[in-house]
Amino acid sequence: MTAPAIDPQAPSWERDGVRLEIEGELAVVTLCQPTRRNAQSPALWRALVDAGRDLPGSVRVVLLRAEGLSFSAGLDRAMFTPEGIPGEPTFLQLAAAEDRELDDTIASYQEAFTWWHRADLISVAAVQGHAVGAGFQLALGCDLRVVAEDVQFAMKETSLGLVPDLAGTKPLTDLVGYARALEICATGRWVGAEEATTIGLANLAVPGTELDAAARDLAAALLAAPRGAVIETKALLQGASRRTLDEQRSAERVAQARRLRELAGIGD
C-alpha cells in the first residue's frame, strides 16, 4: 500500500517525519515516513526535540509509534555519503570540526533521544519490524517498550566503525546488563521479540495487528494511577541503582511523607 504524500501545508514536524497528537493526558508521537522506513536525519531529531518541548503540562504519558513495516531503519543513508544531506554537516565536516563544535553537534542530536525520560512523564515505545541503530536507540530512550512479534533490534554502529552515541548505551546496559549489552553492540546481531522480552529489553510482545491496542492499553493503565504517586515512584526507581539500601530507604520515607501530606492536604 502506498503511503499518502506529506502535505506541503502540513506542520514542519510532519514534513520532517514526525506527527504529534494530543489526546488529553496522552501524547502520541508518530514517525510518519513509512516509505523511507522512518530513516532518521538531524531534521527529524530537531522535530522530536520540538515535540517534547511543546507538550502541554497536562500530558502524563507519551506514546511513541511509527507508521509502516519498520519502526526505524536507522540513519538516513545519505548521511554516509560525501554529499550528505543538504543543509546538514557531512560526516567529513563533522570529523574535521573542532572538538567543542563536534561535541555540541552530537549533544544537539542526543536531545531527541533523552527527553523521553523526563521525571514528569512516562514514555512507551510501540516497536514493529526493524529498529536499527538510531531506531534501536530511540526505542531505548523510552521508559517502556511494547513490541510486535516481528520486531528486530540491532545496534549496527560498531559494524560501521562507529559507536552508539545517541544516548542508548546506558539504558541498554541498565536493562540487559553489561556483558549482554557489549555482545549486542559489538556484534551488531539481531535481537527478536522473544529474546527481547526474555532479557528485559521489552515489556511485552504481541502480534503486529495488536501492537497499537496493546500500547494504548498500557498507556491507559499508567494513566489510571494518581499523577503524583507515579512521578514519585518513577524517581525512586530511576535513582535506585545509584543509592545504597539505606539511601533508598531514606528516599522512600521522604517520598512517602510528601504523598501522605499531599493526600491529607497538609503542607505547602
| Active site (catalytic) residues | 157
Question: For the chain, how are helix, strand and coil distributed in percent, rounded to 5?
Answer: 50, 15, 35
All cell numbers assigned to 119? 521525571
Q: Residue 160 contacts by C-beta under 8 Å, 6 or more apart in sequence? A: 80
Rounded alpha-carbon distances, angstroms, from residue 245 to 177, 241, 242, 248, 249 = 20, 9, 10, 5, 6
Q: How far is CA 62 from the centre of its chain?
A: 10
Residue 177 CA to residue 170 CA, distance in Å, equals 10
Identify which of 148, 165, 143 has the alpha carbon closest to the alpha carbon of residue 210.
Answer: 148
User: What distance in Å separates the CA atoms of residue 54 and residue 79, rounded to the nearest whole number?
Assistant: 28
Contact 218, 202 (CB under 8 A): no
